[in-house]
Amino acid sequence: MKIGNFNLEKDGTFIIAELSANHNGSLQTALDTIKAAKECGANAIKLQTYTADTLTLDCKKDDFMIDGGTLWDGKSLYELYKEAYTPWEWHEELFAYARAIDIDIFSTPFDKSAVDFLEQFNPSAYKIASFEITDYELVRYTASKGKPIIISTGIAKIDEIQDVVEICKQEGNENIVLLKCTSAYPAPLEEANLATIQNMKDLFGVKIGFSDHTLGITAPIVATTLGSQVIEKHFILDKSIGGPDCEFSLDKKEFSLMVEKIRETEKLIGKVDYSLNEKRKGQRRFSRSLYVSKDIKKGEKFTEENIKSVRPGYGLHPKYLNEILGKTARKDYKMGDRLEKNII
């Protein structure tokens, strides 16, 4: 499966820098953030395409007010989304700039009109946000465009995850990535439950990744060791600019370190390999083998007193020790002589 020019089968972990609201209302900040994401080693920058009116109602009844200990308590949904959205008139310049500096770019549409709008830019993929996973018609319409579809599962029940996978396949789209996600901002480490990653692989039979809202970089590294092929993390140019997503975003230094550690983790994981390369074969000289530990005359028997398993490893394999004990020497041996296989 490929996302843009990135092949998930052989190119490693696909790392997404989530712009979200971290442009803080400035087009130049958005452009600078894309450049910084490229410099930090991200494979893609991801936008969010919505307006307050496509997401919610301009209403301050209790149902529409944010509470529950979030970063945004006291605001209405409409107020939050009006502050956080990425103006649609920016998209053409953002897409063009990202492609000019060779970093992949795509977006999360939040309704069908956003999908239609984004199609003109031919994005390499689409992302479905955790809170939109239950909007089956949005999932179906997005999947029908034939591009890889990345779906966060933060608030979904297991049957809903199965439903959206099946919906994508019904639309002829099998390029599916499910992201393990905890929809808390920031997410406590004890709620990450990264052990679910392997279970998702086994259960749903698609590519699995991780959308991270924890603080720091430990969770993405652990997720990589557990088989995540996509990592998504909020990215901010500079935390001093503030904004709705600032608290759980990584800055340039932190994001660069995350990318570095993920790439190191990929090297450490490697592949299943029991073979010995030339270097490892050479290191076998430090293993044990059978040597004469006391002078032996022709006709004497080999005993535990005159042969031993010691380093280095140029002699006979120690597994032959019991075969040799009790046999009669056919020649003289000096202490330090190797035992060879022809002795058996």
pLDDT score of 244? 83
Predicted confidence (pLDDT) at residue 178 exceeds the cutoff of 90: yes
- Is 325 within 8 Å of 304 (Cβ atoms)? yes
Confidence of residue 301 (pLDDT cuts 50, 70, 90): very high
Judged against a pLDDT cut of 90, whether residue 74 lies above it is answered with no
pLDDT in tens, 322-340: 999 999 999 999 999 999 9
Three-state DSSP at 48 gives: strand
Higher pLDDT among residues 317 and 74, named by residue: 317
Residue ranges covered by each domain of the chain: 7-50+85-269, 278-343
Q: What percent of the chain has pLDDT over 70?
A: 100
Nearest to 302 by CA among 276, 268, 337, 262: 337
Residue 344 has pLDDT above 80, yes or no: no
Q: Is the pLDDT of residue 71 over 90?
A: no
Q: Sort strands 44-49 and 126-128 into parallel, antiparallel or unpaired.
A: unpaired
Q: Note the pLDDT tens digit of each residue in 154-168.
A: 999 999 999 999 999
pLDDT of residue 158: 97
> Tokens 């009669």 appear where?
328
For residue range 89-101, list pLDDT tens digits in order.
999 999 999 999 9
Calculate mean pLDDT across residues 244-272.
95
> CA 31, 182, 52: angle at the middle one, nearest 5?
50
Residue range 222-245, pLDDT digits in tens? 999 999 999 999 999 999 988 888
Mean pLDDT across the stretch 103-111?
98
**Would you state the structure tokens that stand for residue 218, as one six-digit string?**
């430990």
Residue range 49-73: mean pLDDT, rounded: 91
Query: Hey, what CATH topology would domain 7-50+85-269 get?
Result: TIM Barrel (3.20.20)
Residue with tokens 């080693």: 41
SS3 of 163, please?
helix
Judge contact between 123 and 107, C-beta under 8 A.
yes
pTM for the model stands at 0.89
> What is residue 310's predicted lDDT score, i.e. its pLDDT?
97
AA identity, residue 283: Q
Angle at Cα 300 formed by Cα 296 and Cα 303, nearest 5°? 75
Beta strands at 307-310 and 149-152: parallel, antiparallel or unpaired: unpaired
Task: Give the Cα-Cα-Cα angle 207, 212, 214 (nearest 5 degrees).
Answer: 150
Q: In CATH, what number does 278-343 get?
A: 3.90.1210.10
Mean pLDDT of the chain: 96
Give Cβ neighbours of residue 291 (< 8 Å, ≥ 6 apart): 307, 308, 310, 315, 336, 337, 338, 339
Q: What is the CA radius of gyration of the chain?
A: 30
Residue 69 has pLDDT above 80, yes or no: no
What angle in degrees, to the nearest 10, is found between the helix axes of 252-269 and 27-40? 30
CA atoms within 13 A on the CB side of 182: 22
What's the average model confidence in pLDDT over 129-148?
98
Region of residue 336 (phi > 0: left; psi between -120 and 50: alpha; otherwise: beta): left
